Structure 1
Amino acid sequence: MQAEHNLGEHAKWKQIQENTFTRWANEHLKTVGSSIDNLETDLSDGLRLIQLVEVLSQKQLPSHCQDPKFRSQKMDNVSIALTFLMNEGIKIVNIDSTDIVDGRLKLILGLVWTLILHYSISMPVWEGDEEKPPAEVTLTPKQRLLAWIQFKIPYMSITNFTRDWTTGKPIGALVDACAPGLCPDWDLWHPENSVQNATEAMELADAWLDVHQLIKPEELVDPNVDEQSVMTYLAQYPNCKLKDGAPLRPKTDPNSIPIVVPITPMPEPVIVPAEVYPGTESYPAELYPEIESTPAEVDPGYEIVPAEVHPGDEIVPAEVHPGDEIFPAEVHDDILPAESYPGPRPNGLMDGEPAIVLIDAFERIDPNHRTAIGKLYDLYDSSYLITGRALPDAQRFAINFVLENNDVALHINPRFDQQCVVRNSQVRGSWVREERQSTLPFLFRRGEYFAIQVLVTQSCYLISFNGHHMEPFVHRMSYAKVRYLEVAGHAEDIRIHRSEVHSYPKQFIDGMPEPYIPLDLHSTNYNNDIEVEPLNEGDSFLFSGEIDPKCEVFEISFIYPNAAYRDFPFHLKSLFKKNQFVMNSKINNEWSRNAVSNRTPFRKGERFTIQVLITIDFYLIAINGRHFTKFAHRIPFQGGSLLRVQGGIHDVKMHRTRVLDYPQSTLQRQIL
């Protein structure tokens, strides 16, 4: 059983830190039937340190002494663990094997903190992350965790990991943001009942989100709490998962201060930028450079997270996936009429009705105006196409989706002076966390016409600029409360075209209407990959099926019909043992770098749908009817004409459709 240590001569925060770090280590060690009682002594023989590193890295360390009795054997074991960490790119500073063998607690705590930073804060892919390779992320671990918390609870003023948590209300808000309805009355709590508030929230998180109490409630609300302990505890929330049967409930007092409750999708994996495919000339799209993410000037009222320098640890790219055995099948190639992205709702028809129906169009001469657009009903997902011309001397203009109380659910702000597009929300009169990074270049030009399309889905806004899809903007407040669309700034000839996408999204498919393609997963002939018509922009592949209760992995791949080998322009895999969703490409018969989400969106024994929509820049992926992520083209999709589905799934069917309405690719197709 884990002991609570009193360090005596050390400050109270040091006691909290050792106990928190011990609990954190034990949460990982319990998966291999081990535990630590005393950090000062229990790592000295190297065995439990090696176990901890193996659990965290999911890799096996070199052979070592299993029964170390002599000091030299213990030092060898510790050296094996430290050498492995350094080879992983983790900076180990001012500590060697003798420090751990001799029980120098301060240095041991520093080592554990390095492991927490790397494996619990830096490496995992979180909801709201920018889709860039980990090595290019510029935030320190502390800034990254703080930015995620501000993303989840923008209506709370959280700028640190100590004094801002003393009332217990912020942890209640965070619990309810991660699982709306689990802790709905946090805004009614009295700040003086801080321990009671934190206890209620943390017990709910422990019971229903698997967020373990690595720190005690009375410690969390202490203004002198150890910052690193609070970060260790809060780092569990980005990847928490709500259990079945949770006691979700509405707010007790409907007249209390409104809570902003974003609809939370699955986290986006880190995406590798597009790369040039050697020897091809058919790729029509330019490869877009990354926009620098260095801080720039911000309009008055924007809240900025103060930059704090923290010695960061280096992050190693994901392992290259070696590929698996193939289970192809024969298929008939039938194509349905055009449909919407990402597919119709449950029980929705999949007939040939138009995907987007024109409702109305507004034209205004005044470049600063607000248009009433009515309620965004749940039964339909609305598409807004805003066209206009940037003034010849334009600096900035903005498009705002405005609530009844004048808050802004979505703010799109092209900035010619900074060559970027800022996305944000305004809550109770205050701007919150900006999103400005993008894998697209700045696509607007002074004096030229533009088209901005916003497709409102249940989980996010899908945005395209002049036909190019960019990073989704996850809902920070209920889109059902949006009532106005506002255009302001250096633009003219503004026109707003509103449409509604019917039967969207489809979460589960119990029966596919004809025609569909049934996929046989039991053939093992490599040459029997499914032949389909060559991939084109606007192609949508909708897969449905059921996951076996004992499934360990399943995969879907689009493949080139190479003579000597078969490259994969796009490959996705769900790994249940590692709880990962992986995307990749195989180029010249070699796997590129994995794009990994450390949470699979699927459950064993349940039905699923996966929709893959091909746009000029990305594959857009929807899981069970919600937009999930995107994957930038690394090699041209046009050459792909084979399909492979394999793994622990059955009753698999595929619909291929054409989607021509998102993103709106040219100004010639505007509705005038």
Structure 2
Amino acid sequence: MLGAKFGKWVNDNIVFLVGIPLIIGVHYGWSKLQQNPNLVPPDRQKKEPVLEDGTEPEEWKNGAIPTAFSEDLPRPLTPGCCIRLRGFVQPTCSRFSVNLRCGKDSDSDIALHVNPRLSQRYVVRNSLLGNRWGIEETTCISKPKLSRNQPFEMDILCSESMFFVSINGKHVCAFVYRVLLAKVKNIQVVGYVKVSDVEYTTLDVYPQSSPKNEFYTVPVIEEPVVSTENTLEVPLTAKLPTGLKLGQQLEIHGKVKILPSSFFINLQEGTHMWPHPPVHLHLNPRFNTTSVGKYMFVRNAWTNGDWGLEERCPGVHFSPGSEFVVVIRRGNNHFAVWIDGKLAGEFKFRADADKVNALYIQGDVTIKAVCLRTKATDACFTKKPKRFAL
């Protein structure tokens, strides 16, 4: 791994995560919007005030916004480069911005404008090209955890086609390049934050496991345990400690949200989202089809660097606001997918299933529990599915 602080590159060693999406969510889907949920049409952009009361904070009036940090990059950005920013959010801060600029002059183009809004708990992304702001992107797959009077850490990773942004170890959003990556020359931080450290690194995978970003481990159990009202955070990135072996089954207990667009479940290799991991099974209920009241249930796999041929059927297994139990069983040459006690389909292996070691879930769904059983059983299929305190 290459690393540097404030422009000085050094060599050091790192043990990185071996063997999950997605902005994931970013590359998954069936249209440009669903392949990258951070690309939002103009008519769906949020137009929220800066503060909850509809006013702008004092520090953003009259152009009196302090520049907390500005520095030329030590070398051109390439895929795998990561800018790691550490700092402190001051008590008067309501929002701040991190700009990757094509120069250090005040009128330079901005290739990436990352603007966390503390009160609204989302991150605005945009670009400034030729003194014109582009279309804002505001959708985040998880809410940024930023608080006044607290330290923060932000990673900006460069991939082949987009920036990935994580805050305090948690992936938040992405932004597809609008200018060539090689044109970025300068980083600028604006707002009421104190910058303590800027590190330039090269990553092999993103995001990386850390104390701030520990991945859930799916428990291996034989019997259900006490019911609970707790839920697992979505997007859910989870390790399968034994993989999914022949004869085993993976159980997912959840509930579809009231006004869903879609959600997906991936069995894949690795807990990273970049580089795109091989996905052995992609289950994708879609509710936003063109026909009102008609849903689709799509299965697919990502192998050899691309999505394969979709397998589709009517999505009668899921409905808005309903609970469900999905069971995935491994056979000799296929995955069998059961939903609420009914066989929803079989999906033949398109790669070596022994390499499956992770689960990823994202979208309009609440996950109650996930568990792995060493032997297939129908005990989980009841009219009132049991919930697990795991």
TM-score (norm 2): 0.45
Q: Which has more strand, going by share of residues?
A: 2
* RCO comparison, higher one (Cα < 8 Å, 6+): 2
TM-score (norm 1): 0.28
